[in-house]
Structures are given as C-alpha cells and as structure tokens.
Amino acid sequence: MRIDVLTLFPAAFESGPLDVSIIKRAREDGLLDLQVHDIREHATDRHRSVDDYPFGGGQGMVMRVDVLDRALQHVQALADETAYVVFLTPQGEVLHDSLVRELATHPRLALVCGRYEGVDQRFVDHCVDREVSIGDYIVTGGELPAMVLIDAVTRHVPGALGDEASPEEESFADGLLEHPQYTRPAEYRGWTVPDVLLSGHHANIEKWKREQRLERTRERRPDLFP
C-alpha cells in the first residue's frame, strides 16, 4: 500500500513511531510505501503563505484552498493509482476498527494534515473523500492523527504482522477487550497470579479468559458489550 502525507511539518514524520518495530519492518519489506510532502512548497507568494484570515471574521487562520489543491494535485500525479483522500479533523467520523479495515483495502491513501483553526471548506467539498477523527479531543495538528491512522491501517496490510500474527486475533476483531496477562515470577512482593493460570487445566484456563474478557468489557466498555 502507498500512503502520501501532506503536512506543513514533514519533520514530524522523521524518526518517530513509524520508524520502529512493525511499521519500520513493513516499510523495509515494501508493504508500506510512505511518502511525506511539505504543503508549503506549493505556496506561491513572496511570504510562502499557506493560510489567511477567515471570511466573516473569527478566531485564528484558515488554510488556503489554492495551496492545498495544488499540493494534492502534485501528490496525485506521483503515481498511476488515484489516492483515496482522507482529511484528519475533529469534524470527521470517529476512527474505529471497521473504518481502519476499510481504509486498508485502498491501494493508495493521501492523508491531509491540517493546522490552524481549519481549512477552507471548498477543499473539503471538492478534494476530500473522507473526513476522519481519531477521537473526541483536540490535538495541535493532524500529524499525530495521521500517524495513528497509518499505524492502525498498516497492521491490516497482508504480511505486515509477520507469519503467525493476524489482526483477527487482536482485540476488537470480536468486539471484546483482552483478558489480563501474567508472566514469571509467579509471586513478587506477595503479588500473586490467579491460581487457574498455574493449574495446567486448559479447559478451565480458556473458560477463565473468556469470563475475564466479558467481565472487563461489561465493566469498562458497556458500549461494546455484546
């Protein structure tokens, strides 16, 4: 899969979470081709401005439609496949497992990261396929949300998790939270491990894990409870 990122802060994508572990390996193995582009390179005026005051007044600045459109056209022309364009914004639909899986089916994504108070609505109306939010809280720019989306989507690219692991076995594939986990030592400062896990009785262990998952989901995430 190819992902192009459009941002005013390309440095945010250098030597970060996308350069370690599973995502690093996916990139090295050619499963993820991540390309980051600086929106400011498409500013044309003397001051290379990418934003301006909002029509009608109001707080803060708005990203310009012309600069964003030129940046996106430039990026779209870099490959044969047309990218499915995602704009990260608190106004978008909230990212969840089913949307991650859907986005992972696209051969190419373009992620637009906003800064300032927002972007000109004409860019959203004419150039964006999907508005996505990573949750109901405000972060400073779309860069962290884009990284969250890239990480979550890449895990669904076939081969990215290695030979054994499957995204189907992870939490949310079946809508339940995970059971608690323990490892050696079996006792530490008097803190013990549930007896059943040390019993070697596999049927009881599986029953316990299932119960723990149901109980946790009911207590912590009643919205997910089946």
Q: Which residues bind ligand 4GX (CB under 6 A)?
A: 88-90, 114-115, 117-119, 133-135, 137-139, 141-142, 145
Contacts (Cβ under 8 Å, ≥6 apart) of 222: none
The SS3 call for residue 153 is helix
- Least distance to ligand 4GX, CB of residue 60, Å: 9
Q: Which two tokens stand for residue 19?
A: 């350069």
Any bridge partners for residue 1, and if so which? none
Pairing outcome for strands 51-52 and 62-63: antiparallel
- Least distance to ligand 4GX, CB of residue 75, Å: 18
Q: Which is nearer to ligand 4GX, 34 or 111 (CB)?
A: 111
- Least distance to ligand 4GX, CB of residue 216, Å: 26
Q: Which is nearer to ligand 4GX, 142 or 167 (CB)?
A: 142
**What is the maximum span of the chain, computed from C-alpha positions, in angstroms?**
73
Q: Which is nearer to ligand 4GX, 55 or 137 (CB)?
A: 137
User: Looking at the chain, which runs of residues are DSSP E strands?
Assistant: 2-7, 33-38, 51-52, 62-63, 84-94, 108-113, 118-119, 130-133, 187-188, 191-192
Closest residue to ligand 4GX: CB criterion: 114
Q: Which is nearer to ligand 4GX, 119 or 161 (CB)?
A: 119
Q: Which is nearer to ligand 4GX, 127 or 176 (CB)?
A: 127
Which backbone phi and psi does 194 adopt, to 5 degrees?
A: -50, 130
- Least distance to ligand 4GX, CB of residue 4, Å: 17
